[in-house]
A = this chain, B = another copy of it.
Amino acid sequence: MAGRHSTLREQRRAETHRLIQAHAVRLFVARGYDGTTVNDVAEAAGVSAMTVYRHFPTKEDLVLADRNGPLVAERIAASPAGQPLVRRIGGALVESARSLTEGDDRFLLARLRLMIATPALRARHLDNHYVLQRAIVDALGDEAADPDAAFRATAAASACLAVMHTALVRWAEDDGRADLPDLIATALAAAFDIPGPTPLGASPPPA
């Protein structure tokens, strides 16, 4: 049996993964998503096409790779149950965005722009939200008990995610200069007509 922590193999695999994705995004930005074949990506990364498919099930996954869904669900479950649904969900999304922008902003922005501009990627990205939406409803726990409550929770979750996506688009258009959590909070406030933490374009409150 392979032990729980194979070091060199996992390391190599992770490096190959990163290498392929980096070259893929670079080429997509340079020649366009549709103008770049998976073979091009494989060749640029110095691997075979099969290896690309082993690391990324589809060409679209070379750009998408959202994996902070569970994080959002955790925050939802940890939020106080008394507040209105939209506030619980929206709050979790705002906080998750904070940890999202901690990594490499250039890379994230490039991927985001591809997702927005390329129909195929945009569609898959929105569908990922669809999956995340179910996770959010499940994380609400007791809300998902009776069908009507689950329906209301689903409606609220889908609305919040859509609004977050709007903020993401705006953030990308702005080249990532704005504060993303703040943008999302503002968008949520605008859509749901609740007093948001800040008016449009302002800085986050000191506390």
Interface residues of A (CB under 8 A from B): 84, 86, 119, 122-124, 126-127, 129-130, 148, 151-152, 154-156, 158-163, 165-167, 169-170, 187-188, 190-193, 200-201
Q: CB < 8 Å: which of B154, B192, B201 contacts A166?
A: B154
Chain B residues lying within 8 Å of A200, measured Cβ to Cβ, are 148, 151-152
A17 smallest CB distance to B (angstroms): 23
Give 26 pairs: A residue, B residue, CB < 8 Å, sorted on A. A86-B193, A122-B127, A122-B130, A123-B123, A123-B126, A123-B127, A126-B126, A148-B201, A151-B166, A151-B190, A152-B187, A152-B191, A154-B169, A155-B163, A155-B187, A155-B188, A155-B190, A155-B191, A156-B190, A158-B165, A158-B191, A159-B160, A159-B191, A159-B192, A161-B162, A192-B192
> Which one of B124, B190, B191 contacts A123 once the chains associate, using CB atoms below 8 Å?
B124
Contact A151 B170 (CB under 8 A): yes
With both beta carbons as reference points, the residue of chain B lying nearest to A153 in the complex is identified as: B190
Q: Which residues of B have CB within 8 Å of A158?
A: 162-163, 165-166, 191
The one of B123, B155, B161, B162 that contacts A167, using a Cβ cutoff of 8 Å: B155
Q: Determine whether the beta carbon of B163 is less than 8 Å from that of A159.
A: yes
Cα distance, A126 to B167, chains bound together (Å): 17
A123-B127, A158-B165 given; A84·B193 CB < 8 A: yes
Note all chain B residues with C-beta closer than 8 A to A151. Answer: 166, 170, 187, 190, 200
Q: How far is the CA of A119 from the CA of B130 in the complex (A)?
A: 10
- B residues in contact with A127, CB < 8 Å: 119, 122-123, 126
Given contacts A86-B192, A159-B163, 4 further A-B contacts (CB under 8 A): A151-B166, A152-B190, A162-B162, A192-B193
Q: Whose C-beta in chain B lies nearest to the C-beta of A152?
A: B190
Are B191 and A156 interface neighbours, CB within 8 A?
yes
A161 to chain B, nearest CB (A): 7
Q: Which 4 A-B pairs have the closest CB atoms?
A: A162-B162, A123-B127, A123-B123, A158-B162
